[in-house]
Structure 1
């Protein structure tokens, strides 16, 4: 644990004080952590390369497609149309509530990083249209995405936990909603009220171009095109839940990469070619978006390198073994195991899935409600997001924040989700006895 803390502290010092390029800082921190944890020197470069490849392999195409998709939504004027319609119908005072609901609903079918990339254009469009602080406007939506990702099936961590502890997926979903909603209210719109003073410099990637009102796409076209990937993924998820036998036949279409590619093709037509633009004109926005997304991809790659070193060194397994022997209530223990793995490894999904191997026998021996254990571990897996979490860096870079303000906003939001999630799980355990 001391080795992990020293490596993370070195990483933070290099980036915040030394202004070292984040990818280089991550590689140095990963090397230092591996040596302190006793990894064989010959295996360290391979672990770093594997971590970079594994994380980028699953994210790079989706993030790039999401970026070019969002850039086209912005440049075509569709984002401006959407933002104007929301401001007009809801009024400025209700926008945080609308963002909270949007994030949670979108987060139900979508993997967190996919939902983040899809929703960022909407957040920035509302920021530019309403003039409200970017962080205070974005946090409620991102809290909804995070909570859905950490607590609720069919997300990978929750689904793996349901299988590991033999929980009932239906009950877990119902209990999860009972825990998620009050947690979301606290960590989303209520917490966001304290963030208005944070000065962000949002990415210029999704700032809309000055399109005359007469040339804006229609409201239906704008909403339908912008929400198409969300609608497709949600529909396919519902179909496979209702008809499990269709899971394999629909696996290709339900893959986020395929959905994003289809959605981008539709956007090229509906917001570009069908409105009189040439294909080279439409592709110009894609080139700009990909140039701007490159630094973010490098930072995410670095986070993967550090994560893999910590996985291969056996830190998570060792912590789990030690914690499982502590005399504390089972639900609190499950939460603590997931929290420590999350702090060490960064990934909420990895924390939840890794903790599943520890809490499975614990549920059998203690007799605690397995559905509540899924939620307790889910809450722990979201705790204390910091510099080894790709979500931390995506938020920091997209919103243009300092490390201090990222800890103050993003990390605090995730910690509130973890703490209040646990409290509401414990309260629910009392109520359903």
Structure 2
């Protein structure tokens, strides 16, 4: 990236709420993040409350008036929720319809029926990647891992050999591909283009999944050998359904928002006349809100009605999908408030100013910041939002492509080395019947491989695009 002009940036952003020196601003940022880390890790406080308190500490140490700190936090919270809250809700509805209708099971059954045992790890990676597109990571694990356990038991293959590709598929999509909460929040923070980020995210995700999934799974299965625990292999949720949606209808429904958003990005590049009918149509249908809403409405028929759901059951499914995301929305919103406090205190401009003398790629810097927060807090979402807020000024003079790569660098860093302070760590440990050292050798190592490999592809793309 070329040298950035702090004067131009200052003219384009609101004036800081404090005129503290660089040393004090750096101390304020460290103090705010440290408080968040301690509250989450030591005192087990909910991330929403920790981010709220950390924002107050940040403003106080920076010397900002309390009233202005509160205003910055609430403004950032409201703006973030307004920008990504509806998208998260629509993604949750689509994921719930996919799970309850048996559509996910249809994908699993169809792919496995046409796959040899030797290619099962690749099939599990493909299944997890497809299922992981619209599903939150935790939902994907709860829905998909029992299927992995069943496949491992029936095929007699190593649980780690099959499980690592499935976990990698879910994790890669969660960290790199919108409409997952982390990438959405980062896109909003740095003002990246959704279609470009989605296209590049998929481009980075595919080879990363291949390396961290089936290939690394082969290595990890030599380190750890566990058998599928019987207590964690319940009956498949679709067994009670009279019928399932078709494979083609399920896949088309899941991929509809992706296709619409990518089509908009393609039209933006290839169509010069912004007043043309084609441009105006895709400018609307390719927006994330319209694309996801279209997929949800379609899913009510192709998934819900196809599974024999009544209108009342579809409505109940939608209701049940929204309750679990309340915590996610609060965390994402509070992360946006913390980000805005960082910006308004002048921390962002300070980092921008100082970074001009650093001989380090902005993409690598973004990755490192996300890694530190991820390892400290255990939350990929908190790491993504906080890191994106800190590096947002670096995107001011980046091209559309490099701004999207900045989002992906943050997302890659947010996946680094999941360990005992991450709920996902314990979820995987219990489902796979492993002890802590075994989980570190498999799940934690896999997350680190994803993070490093994804960064490598992001840096490679930055050289050629």
Is structure 2 residue 288 aligned with structure 1 residue 256? Answer: yes
1:416 matches 2:419 = no
* Counterpart among 123, 129, 134 of residue 147 in structure 2: 129
Counterpart of 1:65 in structure 2 is 90
The change in CA–CA distance for 1:130 and 1:303 in structure 2 (over 3 A counts) is same
Q: How much does 1:217 deviate?
A: 2.4
Number of residue-to-residue matches in the alignment: 379
CA distance in 2, matches of 1:223, 1:161: 27
| TM-score, normalising length: structure 1 | 0.68
SS in 2 for 1:90: coil
Residue 33 of structure 2 corresponds to 8
> Aligned match of 1:356 in 382, 387, 395?
395
- Corresponding residue of 1:139: 168
Q: 1:272 to 1:325 in 2, by over 3 A?
A: closer
Distance 2:89 2:191 in 1: 28
Q: Is 1:305–2:337 an aligned residue pair?
A: yes
Shift of 1:314: 1.6
Q: Structure 1, unaligned stretches of length 5 or more?
A: 107-113, 150-154, 163-168, 200-206, 361-369
Alpha-carbon distance change, 55 to 95 in structure 1, aligned in 2, over 3 angstroms: farther
1:352-391 mapped onto 2 (5 Å cutoff):
354-357=393-396, 380-382=409-411, 384-385=413-414
Answer with 409-418 or 2-11: which moved more: 409-418
Q: What does residue range 178-217 of structure 1 map to in structure 2 within 5 Å? A: 185-186=210-211, 190=215, 209-212=237-240, 215-217=243-245
Uncovered stretches (5+) of structure 2, i.e. residues with no partner: 1-25, 150-158, 179-185, 227-234, 374-382, 430-435
- Alignment match of 2:326 (pick from 273, 291, 294): 294
Q: 1:102 to 1:380 in 2, by over 3 A?
A: same
User: Residues 261 and 291 of structure 2 are in contact (CA less than 8 Å); yes or no, is this contact kept in structure 1?
Assistant: yes
Give the deviation of 1:258 after TM superposition.
1.3
Q: Whole-Å Cα distance in 1 between the matches of residues 134 and 72 of structure 2?
A: 27
| SS of alignment partner, residue 43 of structure 2 | coil
**Structure 1 pair 290/180, CA: closer, same or farther in 2 (3 Å)?**
closer
Offset at 1:32? Answer: 0.6
Q: 1:37 aligns with which of 50, 62, 67?
A: 62
For the 8 Å contact 1:383–1:415, the answer to whether it is kept is: yes
User: Aligned pair in 2 of structure 1 residues 82, 400: CA closer, same or farther (>3 Å)?
Assistant: same
Q: Is the 8 A contact 2:363 2:406 kept in 1?
A: yes
Q: Secondary structure at the match of 2:64?
A: coil
Corresponding position of 1:202: none
Match of 1:268 in 2: 300
Distance in 2 (alpha carbons) for counterparts of 1:9 and 1:226: 39
Alpha-carbon offset, residue 262 of structure 1: 1.6
| Preserved CA contact (<8 Å) 1:78 1:216 | yes
Does the CA contact (< 8 Å) of 1:48 and 1:309 recur in 2? yes
Whether the 8 Å CA contact 1:81–1:217 is kept in 2: the answer is: yes
Give the superposed CA RMSD.
4.8
Q: Aligned pair in 2 of structure 1 residues 241, 92: CA closer, same or farther (>3 Å)? A: farther
Distance 1:144 1:28, change over 3 A: closer
Distance 1:18 1:160, change over 3 A: closer
Cα distance change, pair 99–322 in 1 and its aligned pair in 2 (3 A): farther
Shift, 1:234, TM fit? 3.2
**Structure 1 position 273, deviation (Å):** 3.5
Structure 1 residue 285: Cα displacement: 1.0
| 1:66 to 1:397, Cα distance in 2 relative to 1, 3 A | farther
Which position in structure 2 is the counterpart of 1:277?
Answer: 309
1:315 aligns with 2:347: yes
**Could you tell me whether the CA contact under 8 Å between 1:97 and 1:140 is conserved in 2?**
no
Q: Please state if 1:81 is matched with 2:129.
A: no
CA distances 1:134-190 after superposition (whole Å, capped 9, x unpaired): 7762334543675577xxxxx969x9899xxxxxx9xxx99x96x887666555555
Residue number in structure 2 paired with 1:219:
247
| Residue 50 of structure 1 pairs with residue 68 of structure 2 | no
